[in-house]
Amino acid sequence: MEGIRTLIGEAEIAARVEALAAEIAQRIPDDFVVVGLLKGAAVFVADLSRALYRAGARPEFEFMRLSSYGLAKVSSGEVHLLGDIPIDLAGRRVLLVDDIVDTGRSIAHAAALLHERGVGEIWTCALLDKPARREVTADVDFVGFTIEDVFVAGYGIDYAEKCRYLPYIGIVD
């Protein structure tokens, strides 16, 4: 696609998702809930949940929607809850899943919210991690790929709401 350079191809993503799921299934005792952060993590959760099944896990899944970038490439620094989980997760094991951990605000905010609600134990997972951009402490237990400070799109991740449909992850120039 014009203006997009491939960073991580389809086959590479698929292989990493499979390995990540095996790692997760080993570490988290079964009976856990995958909580994906919309909209960016939707494609990743769809693939990850089926890879988890192949790895022997049988997770439920839920979604939460947070606001972040809007139409800009730079985060506003404020995270708002736009859509909540309709069920009580008190005492449950949760795997919180996002597409990218950048400043760390989104995943830290979501984890804090779940803690407040008495979730039993939380693990975090991100397909991509940009540690160079971190502004708040955010522990990510499972990372797909660690990348440089580049703006990416594809595989569910958008640039101004475009490119989510790309089957690969590319750098937006």
Residues classed as catalytic: 102
State the helix-helix crossing angle for 10-27 and 42-54, rounded to 10 degrees: 60
Contacts with Mg ion in 39-58 (CB under 5 A)?
Answer: 40
DSSP code of 119? B
Among 100, 110, 166, 169, binds ligand IMP (CB under 6 A): 100
Of 4, 59, 106, 155, the residue at the interface with ligand IMP (CB under 6 A) is 106
- Helical residues (DSSP H) of the chain, grouped into ranges: 10-27, 42-54, 105-116
Within positions 38 to 77, which residues make up the interface with ligand IMP, using CB under 6 A? 40, 68-69, 75
Over the Cα atoms of the chain, what is R_g? Answer: 15
Q: Which is nearer to ligand IMP, 43 or 101 (CB)?
A: 101
**Closest to 85 measured CA to CA, from 46, 140, 139, 37:** 37
User: Nearest to Mg ion by Cβ — which residue?
Assistant: 40
Shortest Å, Cβ 88 to ligand IMP: 25
